[in-house]
A = this chain, B = another copy of it.
Amino acid sequence: MIVFFATKNPHKIREVESIKPHWIELEKLPDSIPDAPEYGDTFLENALSKALFYSKQLKAPVIADDSGLVIESLKGFPGIFSSRFMEGESYKRKMEKILKMLEGEKNRSAKFICNAVFSDVERGFVISSKGEVTGNIAEGIRGSEGFGYDPIFIPRGFSETFGELKEEIKNSISHRKKAFEKLFSMLRGLI
């Protein structure tokens, strides 16, 4: 089955390419397509609105995700604002700011959350799943693997950040891995 992946982020594409089963063929969005609006106040709604938007535009099945870093002592911040926080600035700057906000804070608990959605509007069908990875915020920025906030996130059971762990290792335990693996396995039984 050919499925469009609603992202222009090459890291995400590589990550999901490594997760998807052989019976799914991922297709990139056409360059000409406008960006989907993001106006939800949960990861689920944002993932849904992207998947529905592109599925309507392309009249084809689409997968989408929305994901972010949820920091306990910051009441869930940056959460759904993970990419929009300090928009236009580099992730290095964003991470420095987060570390500053956590200065002196003992509770470093955090998790990455991903909501993945499959949508085929023509068939009136949509399904979603959620993946989480728990861990802690590091004291500094470490490593250059991955993307986004990876270099300040230490997954539980590891001493390295997602920025230090090899891509294969991160992609085998990540929130996105869990969400899409569940999504594809549900889909398998339904279509």
Q: Which residues of A contact B (CB under 8 A)?
A: 42-45, 48, 52, 56, 113, 115, 117, 121, 123-130, 186, 189-190
Minimum CB–CB distance for A93 against chain B, Å: 29
Residues in B with CB closer than 8 Å to A124 are 42-44, 113, 115, 128-130
Please report the C-alpha to C-alpha distance between residue A44 and residue B49 in the assembled complex, in whole angstroms: 12
Check if A127 sits within 8 Å of B126, measured CB to CB.
yes
With A126-B126, A127-B128, A128-B126 already in contact, the answer to whether A121 and B44 are too (CB < 8 A) is yes
**How many of these chains are in the complex?**
2
Minimum CB–CB distance for A18 against chain B, Å: 22
Minimum CB–CB distance for A186 against chain B, Å: 6
Cβ-defined partner of A48 (8 Å) among B42, B115, B126, B189: B126
Q: A42-B124, A44-B124 are in contact. List 5 more A-B contacts (CB 8 A).
A: A48-B48, A48-B52, A48-B126, A126-B128, A189-B189
Residues in B with CB closer than 8 Å to A127 are 126-128
Minimum CB–CB distance for A6 against chain B, Å: 16
Please report the C-alpha to C-alpha distance between residue A125 and residue B186 in the assembled complex, in whole angstroms: 12
Please report the C-alpha to C-alpha distance between residue A42 and residue B56 in the assembled complex, in whole angstroms: 10
